[in-house]
Amino acid sequence: MGGRKPARLYCFADNGVKGCSLTDTTTFGRNSRTTSPDIAVDVETVSRRHGVFRPEGSGWVYENLSQSNGTIWKGKVMQSGGREELRDGDILRVCCPSTGDSSKEVVLLYTESYHLNSGWKRVSLEKTRGELLVGYEVTDLKNGRAGFRSAAGFCRTADGWKIGNVDGMQRIFVNGMEVSNEAGMRPCSLVLVNGYILFYTGEYLLVQYARKGTSSSADVRERFDVYTRKNTC
């Protein structure tokens, strides 16, 4: 492996999240009688032999193998046989260009820094009224004090759900694009909020439910979570 950085790949689809460490050539595709990829996703927009992640130099490249289903990297559709060098936080979207059905998309996150070893909370959006807030519940274990600091808010609009940067101090990305104020959400959107991850399917929000100690004190615990605020957006 030499000087290559440890890397992981996370696959987000409507039925949940899959993750694996990248240590050697890793294939991605759909299970069939003739194929058994390392990362298998049984979604019709994924080809049986869709793509492969290969170690190269000190990093990784993605090679697209699919001729029928599209792979989008940084806004452009990759051709069959196309190769791209990956950087930490890069997102690959797998879709079917002919139908434009975003609900069948699969999102791949390549990362050298995110480690999703925590659980996930699934929040149904069908019956949600008001605003969903995601942020940090900080508890001082020594003094018994707790508070919540909002990072982002999700609101239902006539055109669907949108995300807003609550205090303007957070770094929020939707499908790799930074959000300074607010942005509309499309199904199968991957949201990064200061290193935490959310996945919006259109019907529910999948939230990385995480706890960690802060660097300032072992007596302080920070939990990233989602709450409902009953007022309208």
Q: Is the Cα dihedral 205, 211, 214, 219 positive or negative?
A: positive
Query: What integer pLDDT is reported at residue 131 of this predicted model?
Result: 82
Residue 123 one-letter amino acid: V
Q: Which domains does the chain show, CATH number per domain?
A: 7-111 (2.60.200.20), 119-229 (2.60.200)
> Quick one: pLDDT at residue 232?
56
User: Given this model, what pLDDT does residue 28 score?
Assistant: 93
pLDDT of residue 115: 60
Q: What is the pTM of this model?
A: 0.68
pLDDT at 216: 47
Distance CA 3, CA 210 (A): 30
Question: What is the pLDDT at residue 1?
Answer: 47
Q: Is the dihedral of CA 86, 91, 96, 100 positive or negative?
A: negative
Strand order in the sheet with 26-29: 39-40, 26-29, 51-56, 59-64, 83-85
pLDDT of res. 55 = 93
Separation between Cα atoms, residue 181 and residue 178, nearest integer Å: 9
Per-residue pLDDT of the chain (233 residues; tens, 9 = 90+): 456 777 888 888 766 777 888 889 999 998 888 889 998 888 888 899 999 999 998 899 999 998 878 788 887 889 899 999 998 888 888 875 544 455 567 888 888 876 655 567 778 887 777 788 888 777 776 676 667 778 888 888 888 889 988 877 778 888 878 888 888 888 778 888 877 788 887 778 888 765 544 444 556 566 777 777 766 56
Q: What is the DSSP string of 94-155?
A: EE-TTT--GGG-EEEEEESS----SEEEEEE-TT--SEEEEEEEEEETTTTEEEEEEEEEEE
In Å, how far from its chain's centre is CA 168? 21
